[in-house]
Structure 1
Amino acid sequence: MTVLLEMKDIHKVYPNGTKANQGVDLTVHEGEIHALVGENGAGKSTLMKILFGLETPTSGEIRYKGQPVTFQGPRDAIKQGIGMVHQHFMLVPSLTVSENILLGDELRKGFFSLFRDRKRELTEVDQLIQRYTLKVDPQAKVEMISVGQKQRVEILKVLYRGARLIILDEPTAVLTPQETDELFHSMKELVKENYTVIFITHKLREVMEISDRATILRAGKTIETVQTKNSSQEEISKLMVGRNVLFRVEKEEAKPKEPVLKVNHLTVPDDKGLEAIRNVSFQIRAGEIFGFAGVEGNGQTELIEAITGLRKIKSGQIEYLGQDLTEKTVAQIRAMKIGHIPEDRQTTGACLTSTISENLILDCCRAKEYRRGPFLEQKKIKGFSQQMIKDFDIRVQNEDALAGSLSGGNLQKVIIARELSKNPKLLIASQPTRGVDIGAIEFIHREIIKKRDEGTAVLLVSAELSEVINLSDRIGVLYNGEIVAILDNSTPLSEEEIGSYMLGIKRQEQEAVAE
């Protein structure tokens, strides 16, 4: 196959001494889907930011279509036919789909091109959508469309600007399984038209399913490039982490005790005032993991927000260790030995403009152990932060680094370290391993099991059905805002069996759900 891109001996050293890339080599063929994999902090995103002109390499050479190139910024990369879809979308929510696609390249008409040619804009965007079968309403406001549709808009943006090499940074991190399937279909269709895709991911199942070849990075260095069809998840994971990784969760049988959380006949509205959760009842006992399965958008977010005080309920009761939570503030709930790993680490999980140390003590900075009168005990905070960085393997230069400078997976570790260090009696874990590499997933799973075995009640929500099955002792299935089944997982359930409840094909009798 024709070599489209060569990146040779790429080094990137930041002013603070951080070595993100240390002699990386990458060769991409025209018309292939090339996976770029590695642990959090391995240098994948930095390498692609260099390719797209967002970062300048300290040293090394980039050759594109056989010619040496130097990009001073994204515009230079775009002119060469390179486009990038970032992990966190770069869209304007208040604008329409077509306005976002054309932003900066609007079509004009009239005297001195004073006026927008909106009719022609809509026609061109519609033709683009039809050509690439990336279905989305061009006139819909971006703030009103699903996450999967937002990603299609991002892809349409780069296609509109003539990209032939498309970089997708963690594209499935926030997608449902159905949206992931649709994305993969679109990627395959693009490759049929001789487009080339570089696909950054942590998910080895996806690497095996969609890629032609995979380049593995570890600690900022290229380890190996493999033909996917001749490799395996086990081989790639070992190259990523440097050791064998267990793909199964090892745990002993749960020994549940008294109920910690009781939810009775709960009804919760969504942002439009419609009932996202309807008459839901369940309980979680100390020493067990209760997992929720369900296609995203069936009320999981609203349920978690209601329990954690982030959303007002319409009716029902939430009881924690005999106390009614329904009128408690977020601060009061946080002070009650309840840990919460939120689904959106950037918006509700962390303060990106604060340091790692500040994030680790966000809700305990008023505790006596960290204060001397009105002043913070900086020495104790530093010691605690350094211990958390070590215990949770947070890849960072020091505890004074800004949270916003971390990779997604390392930021997730900061949040998990903060929540687990509280020794919570109830742990609410929503998408705990989203966007996290295979080695970190294994670690996070062990920590959640450890908390369960210490007597913590765990409420787990995950879009990864395999994660729900592997971790949970009991599984509740949400469909259209209702619990349609509560299943005992002492004998592991199959994805097909749970899937039939998730899609509303099957439903337990109400008596069984209540039990």
Structure 2
Amino acid sequence: MDALLRMHGITKVYPGVVANNGVEFEVVEGEIHALLGENGAGKTTLVNILYGLTAPDQGTILWKGAPVRIHSSKQAMQLGIGMVHQHFMLIPRFTALQNVILGAHSGRGLWLNLGQASRRVRTLSDQYGLDVDLEAEVQDMALGMRQRLEILKALYRGAHLLIMNEPTSVLTPSEVEALFEVLRRLATQNHATIFISHKLEEVLAISDRVTVLRDGHNVATMPTREATQPQLAQMMVGRPVMLEVEKSPARPTGRMVIELDAVSVKREHGRDQLDGITLQVEAGEIVGIAGIDGNGQRALLEVLCGLSRPSRGRVRLLGVDVTHTSPRQIASMNVGRIPEDRATMGLLLPLSVKENLILQSYTQEPMSRWGILRRRVIGDFARRLVAEFDVRTPGIEVAVANLSGGNQQKVILARELHHDPEVLIVANATRGLDVGATEYTYKRVLEGRDRGAGVLLISSDLEEVLCLSDRIAIMHAGRIMGIVPAASADRTQLGLMMTGTPLSMLQGG
């Protein structure tokens, strides 16, 4: 079968980094082609070149057999190439229909034929099984519907090839399966998809072929039916990877280290971000918080870290009431915090590795004395942590912005775990990380639990919650729908709770 897309000898060099080095990649009609690789392997650069967001230094692109030079996303869309971004590009206050037709020509001259546009969008929706309420505002939609809307937008603009970057990262299990049904239906009508994901089980479930990149080079392209998870993981990172988490049984001590008692947090406009949350975490266990993003997880994290104050209820850490305590006071209590956004909440990107490692301790002995930083002590401390936590960096003076996502995460892990915290608060710690960095993060979190820390794990990745947690609490609309043992958790039941069905109702209570 002739290739719909062929990228030949694609090379892109940034200062100090060869992002793509002679990459070969092709997609045929009706194919779902997975693109795999570690962070920094060159996947995003490759699809950005295809979508006109950056230009290659060398190489050619053939589209439907003809050479093309793609200078902009507008040109890519005119060719029939669409991209569904990981973070949806929608206007919350607009309806679904308004979002679809925004910026797309519909009608004659300057006039917009809304009726004609609506009929065309409904036809596409029916043709491809994209169940979207066209009259609903985006802000009122579930994430799964927002993603279907993004696909509908691309098809409305004539997309024959869809680029999907981490498309399942914020979806429930049922929404993931619904997405896969849409992609399969598109494939039967000769549409092609480039599927970028770190979730190997999903790649094996949905794709026809898989291409693996490492360090900007091709490693392999093969039919997915011939691939296995361990094989793909090893090709991605260049060594065997432990995909199954080896977790010994928890040994909770009975000592409560995190306690929330009927905690509520109000939004500016009156709606609760947290609505009467009651939760306890014991030393020596991991309690996972599962739920679709935007259901109170961030508010919970901010309350526990002192970044916001409850409108009702009490918060205790290590038996101390911290309801109205500052973030710095909480940090001094032997509490480790691994935030959900490395770049904005976990690191100061322009500062060096060394400086980021002492953000919590530079005002204290032995890092400073009488208000003066002790540079030799700080240097020795930073070099020790870089070695202990295997941070891949040219040196401790290098700006942390120049490290890969996985190594940035290791800097945070080193800073937050080196002092053996009694409480560890972890939020989406592996989002956007490859299998190797994910494996390392899991290992360190479990070591903290086995050492006796109480761990609260907040994650939108249900598989992560299931494999790391000892107990799982499910959040929806700022409330806890139920708490279940991880060992006996049922995925279907968890998915129903994530969409608002209380555990008591599922159990017939």
* TM-score normalized by the length of structure 2: 0.85
Query: CA 1:412/1:177 → structure 2, altered by over 3 Å: closer, same or farther?
Result: farther
Contact 2:174 2:495 in 1 (8 A): no
Contact 1:174 1:434 in 2 (8 A): no
Pick from 146, 154, 159: which aligns with 1:158?
154
Cα distance in 2 for residues equivalent to 1:498 and 1:146: 17
Cα distance in 2 for residues equivalent to 1:341 and 1:23: 37
Aligned residue in 2 for 1:513: none
Cα distance in 2 for residues equivalent to 1:400 and 1:146: 44
Aligned residue in 1 for 2:167: 171
Contact 2:169 2:461 in 1 (8 A): no
Of 25-34 and 385-394, deviating more is: 385-394
Q: CA offsets, 1:323-378, max 9 Å, x none?
A: 21211233433443333333344554455676666655555555565568778777
Cα distance in 2 for residues equivalent to 1:474 and 1:36: 34
SS in 2 for 1:267: strand
SS in 2 for 1:186: helix
Contact 2:256 2:319 in 1 (8 A): no
Task: Please tell me whether residue 43 in structure 1 is matched to residue 49 in structure 2.
Answer: no
Contact 1:484 1:508 in 2 (8 A): no
Aligned residue in 1 for 2:213: 217
Cα distance in 2 for residues equivalent to 1:403 and 1:107: 47
Query: CA 1:166/1:359 → structure 2, altered by over 3 Å: closer, same or farther?
Result: farther
- Shift, 1:309, TM fit: 3.0
SS in 1 for 2:162: strand
Query: CA 1:288/1:187 → structure 2, altered by over 3 Å: closer, same or farther?
Result: same
Aligned residue in 2 for 1:206: 202
Cα distance in 1 for residues equivalent to 2:276 and 2:354: 41
Q: CA offsets, 1:187-235, max 9 Å, x none?
A: 1121121111001111001001110010111222111112112222122
Query: CA 1:325/1:108 → structure 2, altered by over 3 Å: closer, same or farther?
Result: farther
Cα distance in 2 for residues equivalent to 1:379 and 1:73: 50
- Shift, 1:151, TM fit: 2.9
- Number of matched pairs: 505
Task: Please tell me whether residue 441 in structure 1 is matched to residue 418 in structure 2.
Answer: no
**Equivalences for residues 59-138 of structure 1 within 5 A:** 59-93=58-92, 95-107=94-106, 113=110, 118=114, 120-138=116-134
Pick from 453, 457, 460: which aligns with 2:454?
457
Q: CA offsets, 1:157-193, max 9 Å, x none?
A: 3222222111111112232323322222221121121
Unaligned runs of 5+ residues in structure 1 are 511-515
Cα distance in 1 for residues equivalent to 2:87 and 2:356: 20
- Shift, 1:146, TM fit: 3.8
Cα distance in 1 for residues equivalent to 2:3 and 2:358: 49
- Shift, 1:469, TM fit: 2.9
Q: CA offsets, 1:74-120, max 9 Å, x none?
A: 3332232222223333444555544443443354667xx3x655555
Aligned residue in 1 for 2:233: 237
Cα distance in 1 for residues equivalent to 2:288 and 2:425: 10
Query: CA 1:217/1:76 → structure 2, altered by over 3 Å: closer, same or farther?
Result: same
Identity of aligned residues (%): 43
- Shift, 1:7, TM fit: 1.9
Contact 1:269 1:276 in 2 (8 A): yes
- Shift, 1:410, TM fit: 5.3
Query: CA 1:332/1:154 → structure 2, altered by over 3 Å: closer, same or farther?
Result: farther
Task: Please tell me whether residue 467 in structure 1 is matched to residue 461 in structure 2.
Answer: no
Aligned residue in 2 for 1:18: 17
Query: CA 1:128/1:482 → structure 2, altered by over 3 Å: closer, same or farther?
Result: same
- Shift, 1:246, TM fit: 1.9
SS in 1 for 2:449: helix
- Shift, 1:265, TM fit: 2.6
* 1:176 maps to amino acid: T
Cα distance in 1 for residues equivalent to 2:238 and 2:197: 18
Task: Please tell me whether residue 323 in structure 1 is matched to residue 320 in structure 2.
Answer: yes
Aligned residue in 2 for 1:425: 422
Cα distance in 2 for residues equivalent to 1:285 and 1:189: 47
Aligned residue in 1 for 2:7: 7
SS in 2 for 1:507: helix
Q: CA offsets, 1:461-513, max 9 Å, x none?
A: 22333322322233334466544544455x66554675676674743999xxx
- Shift, 1:312, TM fit: 3.5
Query: CA 1:417/1:134 → structure 2, altered by over 3 Å: closer, same or farther?
Result: farther
Aligned residue in 2 for 1:52: 51
Contact 2:97 2:118 in 1 (8 A): yes
Contact 1:176 1:296 in 2 (8 A): no
Query: CA 1:344/1:105 → structure 2, altered by over 3 Å: closer, same or farther?
Result: same
Cα distance in 2 for residues equivalent to 1:384 and 1:101: 54
Cα distance in 1 for residues equivalent to 2:287 and 2:165: 32
- Shift, 1:436, TM fit: 2.0
Q: CA offsets, 1:287-338, max 9 Å, x none?
A: 2212234455554443333322344423221111232121123343344333
Pick from 334, 339, 352: which aligns with 1:337?
334
* 2:260 maps to amino acid: V
Cα distance in 1 for residues equivalent to 2:383 and 2:18: 20
- Shift, 1:63, TM fit: 2.2
Aligned residue in 2 for 1:226: 222
Contact 2:32 2:194 in 1 (8 A): yes
Aligned residue in 2 for 1:274: 271
Contact 1:41 1:410 in 2 (8 A): no
SS in 2 for 1:87: coil
Aligned residue in 2 for 1:34: 33
Pick from 243, 250, 253: which aligns with 1:247?
243
- Shift, 1:238, TM fit: 2.0
Unaligned runs of 5+ residues in structure 2 are none
Aligned residue in 2 for 1:303: 300
Pick from 177, 180, 184: which aligns with 1:184?
180
* TM-score normalized by the length of structure 1: 0.84
- Shift, 1:35, TM fit: 0.2
Contact 2:284 2:453 in 1 (8 A): yes
Task: Please tell me whether residue 148 in structure 1 is matched to residue 144 in structure 2.
Answer: yes
Cα distance in 2 for residues equivalent to 1:252 and 1:173: 27
What is the RMSD computed on CA atoms of the aligned residues? 3.6
* 1:41 maps to amino acid: G
